[in-house]
Amino acid sequence: MTTSVESPAVQPVRETFPSLNPANGAEIARYPVDGEPEVADAVARARKGAEWWAALTAGERKRRLGAWAATITRDRRALCELVHEENGKPRDDAFLEVLLALEQLTWAASHAGRVLRRRRVAGSLAMMNQAATVEYHPLGVVGVIGPWNYPVFTPMGSIAYALAAGNAVVFKPSEFTTASGVFLADSFARANPDADTGVFQVVTGFGATGAALCSARVDKVAFTGSSATGRKVMAACAQNLTPVLMECGGKDALIVAEGADVKAAADGALWGALANAGQTCVGIERVYVVKGLEDAFIDAIREGAAELKTGADAEDRVYGPMTMPGQIDVVRRHIEDAIAKGATAVVGGVDSVKPPFIDPVVLVDAPEDSAAVCEETFGPTITVRTVADADEAVRLANATEYGLSASVYAGSARRGAEIARRLRTGMASVNAVIAFAGVPGLPFGGVGESGFGRTHGEDGLKEFARAQSVTRKRFSAPLDPTTFRRSPATMKVLDRYVTLRFGRK
């Protein structure tokens, strides 16, 4: 278990790994590689922490999570600097990420009491003598495995909701952004110095540390990462029937439908595709534009992209380096494959790949079976295809195994919403991009290869709770079929009841 870089080492010699600045390779901090014993210890501590935390009232948990939000707010510049250094995104983007994470934390803390408290449920005629209630209890210990692209906002979607629902959390941050993850646990401890130390802990390391967490008999694993790793997480969790929440990859489309404000759509497409160097699970990777609007749209994209600069530090750079060196080859392969199959690069091209940076690339008419259209690129590229109408746009947008989110630009917001409802995704924005992520009351998650289960909103709280249904007998019913002493007359009355209740049209 690691709560700070300076933790005194009580072990003999532990293997360690560095967190590196992707722009220049500089070492930011070094952390122990936690193995099965360390993870098991953390989970054992979390069991005690979970008991302590669950015994608090929802109001007390709200106060403590509020204190955590205030601590993060006070120390936000240090956290933003860490996110900037570890992930490579500009400081302003790091700030926006922290802001959104604080929105989620505060929403979860404020609404958990109301959403999860015991409530009455209407009875049925057959059970009219029973009072029925449902209540949402904590699961116990939740393991959270996070990615590096939004190292604060993304795991916070699980951590805040799991804690607000009364669980303890053991968090395994991505090996690329460990310092940001450790910062979160340290700030929780600073905000709640009297809390049991098992309530929120971090374990550090690579995939094997995450795998150890999956096998540690926690009560749920909330995983965010690639679909390929998601499969491994599910397989490991299956051994103990540990339930899982899967937030995986995406191949999100933006549709430019009839009457759309083409300039606004191009502006949204560029930001949705390029922000954070395109390393956004809900980033725009494909555009389908209806015939007649394509020239104006591509002109606007060209014009917008021409102004954009990439790089590490200067404040006028809109995004930074690729965080994970291995992803650069994937992006290069997608560009090369699309061009070889007949796509035209109207912005950038293969030469845009200048590791660790990649300048914007816009590919027009990449075939629908090319890697740039089919696979998650996770880089600052976008494909654009002209379609006959919105129907074709919907068909092509849905022609993917992924189903995370989408964007629709249309002449009227109403028409946009009509199109959005036909998309097989967990989320959509009309005349905007990624707006749903900023509304904490809205559930966040996907379908198909993009995963299942939801963070954020009421669904996000219930994801980390166990519904318990309780009936209380209020009086002895004149007809009681649940006894061996029931009479033939009781069954006769019930038979008539079935006809009256369900048999008439």
Cβ distance to ligand NAD smaller for residue 192 or 407 = 407
Strand pairing partners for 247? 224, 451
Q: Are strands 284-290 and 252-256 parallel, antiparallel or unpaired?
A: parallel
Choices 48-56, 267-275, 446-454, 463-471; region in contact with ligand NAD by CB under 6 A:
446-454
Number of residues that bind ligand NAD (CB under 6 A): 33
Cβ distance to ligand NAD smaller for residue 176 or 297 = 176
Cβ distance to ligand NAD smaller for residue 326 or 488 = 326
| Helix ranges restricted to H, 75-169 | 76-87, 91-116, 153-164
The DSSP symbol for 8 reads P
Please compute, for residue 71, the number of CA atoms within 13 A of its CA located in the half-sphere on the CB side: 17
CB of 221 to ligand NAD, least distance (A): 8
Is 60 within 8 Å of 52 (Cβ atoms)? no
CB of 250 to ligand NAD, least distance (A): 5
Give which of 368, 403, 408, 400 is closest to 384, Cα–Cα: 368
Q: Does 428 bind ligand NAD (CB under 6 A)?
A: no
CB of 294 to ligand NAD, least distance (A): 28
Contact positions with ligand NAD (CB under 6 A) in 164-193: 172, 174-175
Contact positions with ligand NAD (CB under 6 A) in 266-285: 281
Is 3 within 8 Å of 202 (Cβ atoms)? yes
Choices 123-131, 244-252, 352-360, 464-472; region in contact with ligand NAD by CB under 6 A:
244-252
Choices 55-63, 143-151, 332-340, 465-473; region in contact with ligand NAD by CB under 6 A:
143-151
Considering only 105, 112, 211, 255, the residue that binds ligand NAD (CB under 6 A) is: 211
Choices 20-28, 205-213, 252-260, 487-495; region in contact with ligand NAD by CB under 6 A:
205-213
Q: Does 55 bind ligand NAD (CB under 6 A)?
A: no
Cβ distance to ligand NAD smaller for residue 161 or 378 = 378
CB of 25 to ligand NAD, least distance (A): 19
Q: Does 463 bind ligand NAD (CB under 6 A)?
A: no
Full DSSP string of 350-365: GGGEETTEE--EEEES
Q: Are strands 344-347 and 361-364 parallel, antiparallel or unpaired?
A: antiparallel
Full DSSP string of 485-502: T--HHHHHHHHHHHHHHH
Cβ distance to ligand NAD smaller for residue 107 or 378 = 378
Q: Does 34 bind ligand NAD (CB under 6 A)?
A: no
Is 440 within 8 Å of 466 (Cβ atoms)? no
CB of 48 to ligand NAD, least distance (A): 24
Residue 69 to residue 62: CA distance in whole angstroms: 10
Residue whose token pair is 């924005």: 429
Residue 72 to residue 78: CA distance in whole angstroms: 9
CA-CA-CA-CA torsion for 369, 373, 376, 378, nearest 10 degrees? Answer: 140
Is 36 among the catalytic positions? no
Q: Does 249 bind ligand NAD (CB under 6 A)?
A: yes
Q: Which residues contact 2 (CB under 8 A, 6 or more apart)?
A: 31, 32, 34, 182, 202, 203, 204
Burial class (CB in 10 A: 0-12, 13-18, 19+), 309: exposed
Considering only 145, 266, 290, 343, the residue that binds ligand NAD (CB under 6 A) is: 145
Contact positions with ligand NAD (CB under 6 A) in 380-409: 404
Considering only 87, 154, 204, 352, the residue that binds ligand NAD (CB under 6 A) is: 154
CB of 201 to ligand NAD, least distance (A): 15
Choices 189-197, 220-228, 385-393, 486-494; region in contact with ligand NAD by CB under 6 A:
220-228
Q: Helix (H) and strand (E) counts for the chain?
A: 16, 20
CB of 231 to ligand NAD, least distance (A): 9
Cβ distance to ligand NAD smaller for residue 176 or 409 = 176
Is 406 within 8 Å of 423 (Cβ atoms)? yes
Q: Does 225 bind ligand NAD (CB under 6 A)?
A: yes
| Helix ranges restricted to H, 287-378 | 294-306, 325-340, 371-374
Residue 307 to residue 184: CA distance in whole angstroms: 36
Considering only 105, 248, 318, 428, the residue that binds ligand NAD (CB under 6 A) is: 248
Considering only 147, 155, 321, 443, the residue that binds ligand NAD (CB under 6 A) is: 147
Choices 77-85, 207-215, 406-414, 482-490; region in contact with ligand NAD by CB under 6 A:
207-215
Choices 104-112, 113-121, 148-156, 497-505; region in contact with ligand NAD by CB under 6 A:
148-156
Phi-psi region of 63 (alpha: psi -120 to 50; beta: other; left: phi over 0): alpha
Largest CA distance in the chain: 85
Catalytic residue of the set 38, 97, 175, 247? 247
Name the residue with the smallest CB distance to ligand NAD: 210
Q: Does 250 bind ligand NAD (CB under 6 A)?
A: yes
CB of 279 to ligand NAD, least distance (A): 7
CA 243 vs CA 214, 409, 420: distances in Å:
10, 37, 30
Residues near ligand NAD, by CB under 6 A? 145-150, 154, 172, 174-175, 206-207, 210-211, 214, 224-226, 229, 232-233, 247-250, 281, 324, 376, 378, 404, 446, 450-451
Active site residues: 247
